[in-house]
Structure 1
């Protein structure tokens, strides 16, 4: 799953340099508390200098836009502003770059080379290993509306029979069928647990990701909902599946998508919302940014400045005006804001106008525009099937109290009386047992999915399908 936060801003330009060839793929690996995270920088030369993208294979994230790429006097400087990432290294003989990776004020040595890094796996004790004590089948199904083929895995109990089933729906960002990120595979662990306990599970690669076709970059939650509806139709075609007992389990943004599908179909018999949202997107992002910022040690002044900036940006996006008018207003506002930022604080080689343009591109992304405007309440009012909504107490991305209350209020307003909400103590956004709840803790935790959370999910589903 990916974080419900602002997407990384667009790579725009660079300052040119002379000397050795820096273009191509550069492989490195961060080593944090014994865990190795491979990273790849893909550097391209243009007429005006260099551009780059970043890959994080363990997170299933490829082509992440880099804000700026600067290479001069054999020193490579890379900046990814919205993730607060910088990399600086010196190119020496033998095509080895010796340098330092910094994020959120924490620095780690990381060298880059042309050769792929041999991955050393993190300890993930919950990850199931073959042979599985159940049937596992790779499948392909069609989203006829979008005219694309989607690829996934269907797991079913070994014994012949007709089984209840669920479709797993991933969070924001391009996710594979295991929802793989930071060395964790939450959907693999969850599907294994449910299937061992008599529930068939279909999980699939998001459109445009791994084996699934389609364009992820131009899609919004509405488009992803049609993919999920197609997955349900596929399950209905399988003789091993009980057509009257098909449900949805959505995590994070998946918790927005599941009610969309359920509200529009009589074929959904229950839904489970894992860290689903109940408040409008702009309000969620403001709360998320404040909680993560405070937990990360930002000062009250920094938090206040960040809130003012983002509130204004969201107000512009929420206006009833054309896309071009919004773009111009955002660029104008950001240009004014960034004139007050010391030049040393801007990414290498970037002007105030260029920075404003990059931020404008980020906020005008189709997914971001839709998410900021989307209010889950009207859709929740139309959901009549049983609903379980759970959040971790330490979730800083989808604050539990206000979202669970809003989900319950929306469902009950529509007359739904079969609603269960739970805040699970000590768990973060990924439903791991956590200390702080901060995203930078996700990878360090060996646990992928709290057994207590999985028990809650299973017991509730069993109560619906008996």
Structure 2
């Protein structure tokens, strides 16, 4: 995705004029997190007759096209209200330093962020697996409707150049907003997967998540079940095409996409196989507990007490209490156990309050309640179609052994004998060959997805579809 951001910045090159002339143009700034890691922000300001609009990109996190609610510049003070996306920026023009000096706020996090006019110097990430155009296959920009949700999803369909009816897969992204390329940590794994499979005779449909990029809808209000309905709509769209084999429509889901896939397959008689990449198969509440311990960015004095309190918070959030009662109960509980921990780390009362408020609102989102109460094993157990499960042994986000054992147990219980489960050595959550498996390592690796993972997926799909490709 960084290459896309670079292109946008190049297209919007703004010469550094005296600030008194105009705010319009590209501004950028680099801030540092508490761990001293840098984050690059890029803003594009456009002046209209009576207003200013802005777009924001965060290349460090492969985020772009963020459109804050309002932007105001008055008497040397810049205020960007991004309450629609949970962010805020306030800064003041300093004539001596020729920059806007201010603070970026996201949830409970406040970072000093000074902006200077002009384009940032973009480090070039080497991504040798990403294909370059022209591609040796057919590519088409497509749109399809989820009529129940009244949204339109935009994506890309690819197939071999020769006319025919091809087996096809739909790529399903993991948690969080993703574009059709699955962009994450400056990698585009869905682009790489799509390219690999299409070159090997398998058609692919990938699309922007609802409410992101070119797809309409409200991502923030959607649950795993809603995302499954989007996939069902994608299946209906594929059935309308004359260049795919309707007997061989499959799903490939990564992370959360791996628990969406069986949900879709059990709702549609048109799915003939599924592939899960780093899927979970234990209750979402248990996944949340494990990740809160493994991925937590701060130490705690007592792990057992921390886990106990996390479980209480999840129990409240996943209950059927009305939202107001949940919010009250969660704030009270979160204050009781988080305040002493954060105070011991030197956090101010104001920052503690903001952190707790942010944690509370995050966990109250519809997605979380559904996820906490969802047990993918129930859906895996119902599957009667062929399934391939791949997990990486170095995955720090989804434990391969625990979850693959749960997948295997569910499939056996359901009587499904058409499955293959493989734990791939030394691969992380993104299926990169790695040293630590830590999230911070993803971006540093040149490899987007290990060849062994790509090959296992292709070999298995080729095997289950080989009887009827024409």
Give the structure-2-normalised TM-score: 0.78
Aligned-pair CA distance for 1:98: 8.0
Distance 2:275 2:91 in 1: 46
Aligned-pair CA distance for 1:170: 0.5
Distance 2:404 2:204 in 1: 25
Three-state SS of the structure 1 residue aligned to 2:271 is: coil
Distance 1:344 1:307 in 2: 19
Q: Which moved more, 1:392-401 or 1:343-352?
A: 343-352
Distance 1:425 1:344 in 2: 37
Aligned-pair CA distance for 1:54: 7.5
Matched, 1:115 2:122: no
Distance 2:127 2:286 in 1: 34
Three-state SS of the structure 2 residue aligned to 1:402 is: helix
Over aligned residues, Cα RMSD in angstroms? Answer: 4.0
Three-state SS of the structure 2 residue aligned to 1:136 is: strand
Q: Aligned to 1:124, which of 124, 127, 133?
A: 127
Distance 1:288 1:156 in 2: 38
What corresponds to 1:322 in structure 2? 322
Distance 1:40 1:324 in 2: 37
CA contact (8 A) 1:292 1:438 kept: no
CA contact (8 A) 1:38 1:119 kept: no
Give the structure-1-normalised TM-score: 0.79
CA contact (8 A) 1:60 1:176 kept: no
What corresponds to 2:409 in structure 1? 409
* Residues 70-81 of structure 1 mapped to structure 2, 5 A cutoff: none
Aligned-pair CA distance for 1:282: 1.5
Structure 2 unaligned blocks of 5 or more: 2-19, 46-53, 69-76, 80-88, 105-110
What corresponds to 1:181 in structure 2? 184
* Residues 231-270 of structure 1 mapped to structure 2, 5 A cutoff: 231-270=234-273
Aligned-pair CA distance for 1:308: 3.4
* Residues 115-154 of structure 1 mapped to structure 2, 5 A cutoff: 115-117=118-120, 119-154=122-157
What corresponds to 2:365 in structure 1? 365
CA contact (8 A) 2:279 2:403 kept: yes
Aligned-pair CA distance for 1:413: 1.5
CA contact (8 A) 2:283 2:376 kept: yes
CA contact (8 A) 1:390 1:423 kept: yes
What corresponds to 2:172 in structure 1? 169
1:13-53 Cα distance to aligned partner (Å, 9 max, x none): xxxxxxx9x9x99623589xxx996434899xxxxxxxx99
Aligned-pair CA distance for 1:239: 0.6
Three-state SS of the structure 2 residue aligned to 1:217 is: helix
Three-state SS of the structure 1 residue aligned to 2:213 is: coil
Q: Which moved more, 1:455-464 or 1:318-327?
A: 318-327
What corresponds to 1:201 in structure 2? 204
Aligned-pair CA distance for 1:287: 1.6
* Residues 301-340 of structure 1 mapped to structure 2, 5 A cutoff: 301=301, 303-304=303-304, 306-340=306-340
Matched, 1:221 2:221: no
Three-state SS of the structure 1 residue aligned to 2:294 is: helix
Distance 1:464 1:344 in 2: 54
Distance 2:153 2:373 in 1: 28
* Residues 377-456 of structure 1 mapped to structure 2, 5 A cutoff: 377-456=377-456
Considering Cα pairs closer than 8 Å and 6+ residues apart, tell me whether 1 or 2 has the greater RCO. 1
1:228-258 Cα distance to aligned partner (Å, 9 max, x none): 1111111111111000001000000100111
1:81-109 Cα distance to aligned partner (Å, 9 max, x none): xxxxxx999975444368999xxxxxx99
Distance 2:44 2:312 in 1: 34
* Residues 35-114 of structure 1 mapped to structure 2, 5 A cutoff: 38-40=40-42, 55-57=57-59, 59-60=62-63, 92-93=94-95, 94-96=97-99, 112-114=115-117
Q: 1:286 to 1:356 in 2, by over 3 A?
A: same
Matched, 1:28 2:29: yes
1:356-392 Cα distance to aligned partner (Å, 9 max, x none): 3332111101112221221112222222111101100
Three-state SS of the structure 2 residue aligned to 1:455 is: helix
Aligned residues: 417
Distance 2:237 2:40 in 1: 36
Distance 2:250 2:57 in 1: 34
Structure 1 unaligned blocks of 5 or more: 2-19, 44-51, 66-73, 77-86, 102-107
Aligned-pair CA distance for 1:336: 2.6
Q: 1:351 to 1:181 in 2, by over 3 A?
A: closer
CA contact (8 A) 2:28 2:41 kept: yes
What corresponds to 2:343 in structure 1? 342
What corresponds to 1:68 in structure 2? none
Matched, 1:286 2:289: yes
1:300-350 Cα distance to aligned partner (Å, 9 max, x none): 736445423322211222334333222221111123335534398336844
Distance 2:66 2:186 in 1: 18
Three-state SS of the structure 2 residue aligned to 1:431 is: coil
CA contact (8 A) 2:26 2:119 kept: no
CA contact (8 A) 1:37 1:182 kept: no
